[in-house]
Amino acid sequence: MTQVFEVSTATPTRESALRLAESAIGAGLAAGGQVSGPVASFFWHNGEFGQGEEWKVSFKTTEARYPDLESHLIANHEWNNPEVTAVPLARASASYVEWVERVTAQQVPHGA
């Protein structure tokens, strides 16, 4: 069975989160995604402790499409070193996995 990943990143604004979600899903790199937030975030950056408000974007994709999704998110993100992480789903219904696989197997031109 195809391995499905939940991939996530964070953005500084709702608008940038929506743009990333639309562009990645529109390009067929993920079958679906959600934008949630704002969330309170605490982090180390350039040797300093910080906190702020971020918007989380999560995607469902296959292991095979993950490298392309990761590249897309990094190239289209406004931060120089954005968080892009992936966690394999331990379980998912067979019909859901089939849907993710079918949607991400399509080669949709970017921006379509």
Q: What is the pTM (predicted TM-score) of this model?
A: 0.90
Number of domains observed in the structure of the chain? 1
Dihedral sign, Cα of residue 30, residue 82, residue 87, residue 15: negative
Q: Answer yes or no: is 46 within a domain.
A: no
Mean pLDDT check: name the lowest of 22-26, 55-59, 71-75, 108-112.
108-112
Q: Answer yes or no: is 69 within a domain.
A: yes
Q: Answer yes or no: is 25 within a domain.
A: yes
Structure token digits, residue 30: 């993920």
Residue 1 has a pLDDT of 77
Pairing state between β 32-45 and 48-62:
antiparallel
Q: Answer yes or no: is 16 within a domain.
A: yes
Output the domain CATH number for residue 94.
Answer: 3.30.70.120
Tens digit of each residue's pLDDT (9 = 90 or more) over 70-112:
999 999 999 999 999 999 999 999 999 999 999 999 765 444 4
Percent of the chain with pLDDT over 90: 90
